[in-house]
Amino acid sequence: MRECDVLVVGAGPAGSIAALTAAPHCDVVVLEKRAHIGVPKQCAEGTSEAIFEKLGIPLSPKWVSRKIEFARLISPSRIAVDLKDERVKQLKFGYVLERKKFDKALAELAAKKGAEFYLRTQYQGLKREDNHVVIKARQFDKDLTFKARIVIAADGLMSRVAKDFGIDSTTKLRHLESCCQYEMTGMERESCIELYFGNEIAPKGYAWVFPKEGDVANVGIGILPTKAEYPAKYYLDKFVSWLGLSGTVVEVNAGGVPVGGPLDQTYDDNLLIAGDAAHMANPISGGGIHTAMLSGKFAGETATRALESQSTDKETLSEYETRWKADFGRELDLSLKGRFILEEFTDEDFDATAKWMNEKGVGQLGALDLVKFALKRHPKFAIKFASFLTS
């Protein structure tokens, strides 16, 4: 049996940052079921600039594929709104990463700090024993046993670890965005992320083109299956021909994103839940890299402090939830409400909003202007907006 202080399940951004944060202070083990960290990629790879500044992770050309200068929103009738005005630019659009290299680089950083990684090692189950957790795992054809004081569940969508601790981590179908993506070559693009809206194009979701280094781009789509007639791939193929893209598909990616907002409880005795495992992706954009990394950091720090104070009960570990909520809880909350409003948009609403944004000048508009505009079109949004503004 391998004994340790902290056992992390999952070497995605949440798990590796948790390990990187805790490893200088205690004995950390990471279990990862895949043979190659970050492979296959299930991501469009776009993320903000701010997260790297916030976590003090120096950018590396090894895993930054493209710096993004601006964003373009495109309505069903192809009215484009370029978010490149000086005021909007302060948002800093960030980067398109190379996740296969990025996830591996984060794991390498954690390993350098002392975390021990077990690859091709699948978490299988656990039981509490005194004030510890005994974890069963399978590496190739071998059974392994670990004993840890704190477990960090960073095992992604539908976390099995959280479930085994008695926390319902199921994502309801209504809140599960289904995504399909092609990585394509022969795609000369500006350094701009393109987001396409419309109920025919991507029912209750959006389609995207994210440029990478050279002539490569991620072309993908996310839909709500409960509101769509066909699977995501059908809409993706339709989108590719609608745009007239003639590039070559060199990779196909698919996956789900939890867009129903975070779990009600993200900790328990001896347990912290981070990233997608805790449903921390942004409900509108589906982006979850930044919240996975931030929650991983808070989980690593909370675990370290709990071990120092010799107390790993849920009262002590509740500090974790307080910290992530203070940082990005409101972002997730507002986005969920915003998602429900966007779901009501007709294609005419998307077109009219795009036209209006261009007429007014995007840089001059605040969130309240958008609210007022939508209210004028649809008084029925009033109740939803009221809860949006008072939250």
Ligand X SMILES: Cc1cc2nc3c(=O)[nH]c(=O)nc-3n(C[C@H](O)[C@H](O)[C@H](O)COP(=O)(O)OP(=O)(O)OC[C@H]3O[C@@H](n4cnc5c(N)ncnc54)[C@H](O)[C@@H]3O)c2cc1C
Interaction site with ligand X (CB under 6 A): 9-15, 31-34, 42-47, 122-123, 154-156, 160, 179, 181, 220, 253, 255, 257, 275-277, 281, 286-289, 292
Of 293, 287, 158, 289, residue with least CA distance to 220: 287
Q: How far is the CB of 228 from ligand X (least distance, A)?
A: 15
Q: How far is the CB of 131 from ligand X (least distance, A)?
A: 23
The radius of gyration of the chain from alpha carbons, rounded to an integer in Å, stands at: 21
Q: How far is the CB of 288 from ligand X (least distance, A)?
A: 2
Q: How far is the CB of 300 from ligand X (least distance, A)?
A: 13
| Cβ nearer to ligand X, comparing 35 with 80 | 35
Q: How far is the CB of 336 from ligand X (least distance, A)?
A: 15
| Cβ nearer to ligand X, comparing 21 with 122 | 122
Q: How far is the CB of 123 from ligand X (least distance, A)?
A: 4
**Tokens 């907002």, residue located:** 261
| Cβ nearer to ligand X, comparing 204 with 384 | 204
| Cβ nearer to ligand X, comparing 76 with 296 | 296
Q: How far is the CB of 119 from ligand X (least distance, A)?
A: 9
Contacts (Cβ under 8 Å, ≥6 apart) of 223: 177, 178, 179, 202, 203, 204, 205, 232, 235
| Cβ nearer to ligand X, comparing 221 with 352 | 221
Q: How far is the CB of 154 from ligand X (least distance, A)?
A: 5
**Tokens 């340790």, residue located:** 4
Q: How far is the CB of 360 from ligand X (least distance, A)?
A: 28
Q: How far is the CB of 274 from ligand X (least distance, A)?
A: 6
| Cβ nearer to ligand X, comparing 153 with 342 | 153
Q: What is the 3-state secondary structure (H, E, C) of the chain?
A: CEEEEEEEECCCHHHHHHHHHHCCCCCEEEECCCCCCCCCCCCCCEECCHHHHHHCCCCCCCCEEEECCEEEEECCCCCEEEECCHHHHCCCCCEEECHHHHHHHHHHHHHHCCCEEECCEEEEEEEEECCEEEEEEEECCEEEEEEEEEEEECCCCCCHHHHHCCCCCCCCHHHEEEEEEEEEECCCCCCEEEEECCCCCCCCCEEEEEECCCCCEEEEEEECHHHCCCCHHHHHHHHHHHHCCCCEEEEEEEEEEECCCCCCCCEECCEEECHHHHCCCCCCCCCCHHHHHHHHHHHHHHHHHHHHCCCCCHHHHHHHHHHHHHHHHHHHHHHHHHHHHHCCCCHHHHHHHHHHHHHHCHHHCCHHHHHHHHHHHCHHHHHHHHHHHHC
178: β partners: 223, 256
**Tokens 């939890």, residue located:** 258
| Cβ nearer to ligand X, comparing 73 with 352 | 73
| Cβ nearer to ligand X, comparing 198 with 262 | 262
| Cβ nearer to ligand X, comparing 155 with 351 | 155
| Cβ nearer to ligand X, comparing 164 with 349 | 164
Exposed (0-12), middle (13-18) or buried (19+): which is 178, by Cβ within 10 Å?
buried
**Tokens 């193929």, residue located:** 237
